[in-house]
Chain A
Amino acid sequence: MYPLLLLALLLTDQGLCANNTLSSPEDITFGERGNAADVCSNILYISGPVESSSLIPCFADGFGLATTSPAIGAGIEIEGFTCPAPGHPGDGNCLEWFNLPGPDIGACQAVYLSEAIALRLEP
């Protein structure tokens, strides 16, 4: 259900967040009043759909972080939860992460490999 909710937010973003302004902020903000984060700014943190993978949290649901998200690499290592080093965990029993300088914030770990590979033949 959670991915469906995110998708719904993405779709509605077309109309609600035009020019990044809100028509009815009271209805689409969350968090503490006075310290609320609006949907239009936080929607930049998610991206979808992406190529699914059962290996990475959130990717199994087809969602991930937007490539420009400030959440990428901004988290901290949590002992016993996130792996002690990026990419190659020692025992495999930890949450892998990939983007230096640290894990991403939240449950989704961004995994964006190539932006482009242009293949050609040379004589």
Chain B
Amino acid sequence: MPVRNAKRAVCALSTIAALSLASSVNPAVAPASPPYDINHAKLAWVYKAGVTPADGLNVKCGLTTGGPYTRITQVPITTLSLPLSSVVGVSGTWYCVVTDYVQTASGQLEGQGSNEISFFAAVAPSGSIAVSIIP
């Protein structure tokens, strides 16, 4: 029995974070959803281009619904997903959108963007713990 419990403990530590994810156009009515593993869950999108060819996509997230969002990363328009592990920074309810953009001489011109999705992330501390046996 002690060996089995130790295995469970190792498994719990190896999972960086347990997530409760909710995808919804209206985040105020976020349905209950099972927890997902941040190491496997991802943001995914379907992109339908407009008249103007975009130079890329911005993945933006924040901790407040409706923004402001922080740009997490830029990806080519051929990229259609991003691991959640590269999005989540701290524990909390995250809100994310994806926008497309063209690069102009004066800066980026962004499109209207996607719907907002939200998910709760519980991120474990990333510090190291050294265990030693004292005889």
Give A residues with C-beta under 8 Å from B: 51, 53-56, 67, 72, 87-89, 92, 96, 98-100, 110-123
Contacts and interface: CB of A to CB of B under 8 A. Distances in A.
Interface of B: 21-23, 34, 36-37, 40-55, 57, 81, 84, 96-107, 109-117, 119
B40 A123 contact: yes
Given A55-B109, A121-B119, A67 B51 contact: yes
Contacts of A100: 53
A43 B43 CA distance: 40
Nearest to A50: B112
6 contacts: A114-B99, A119-B43, A119-B98, A120-B23, A120-B117, A121-B117
B36 A112 contact: no
Given A88-B103, A113-B110, A118 B50 contact: no
Nearest to A117: B114
A53 B57 CA distance: 18
B117 A114 contact: no
B98 A51 contact: no
Interface of A is mostly: loop
A100 B53 CA distance: 9
Given A55-B104, A113-B102, A113-B111, 8 more contacts: A67-B50, A72-B51, A111-B109, A113-B52, A117-B100, A118-B46, A119-B114, A120-B45
A96 B104 CA distance: 8
A19 to B, nearest CB: 27
Contact of B41 (A51, A89, A110, A121): A121
Most interface-central of A53, A92, A99, A122 (chain B CB within 10 A):
A122
A112 B50 contact: yes
Contacts of B51: 67, 72, 99, 110, 112
A123 B41 contact: yes
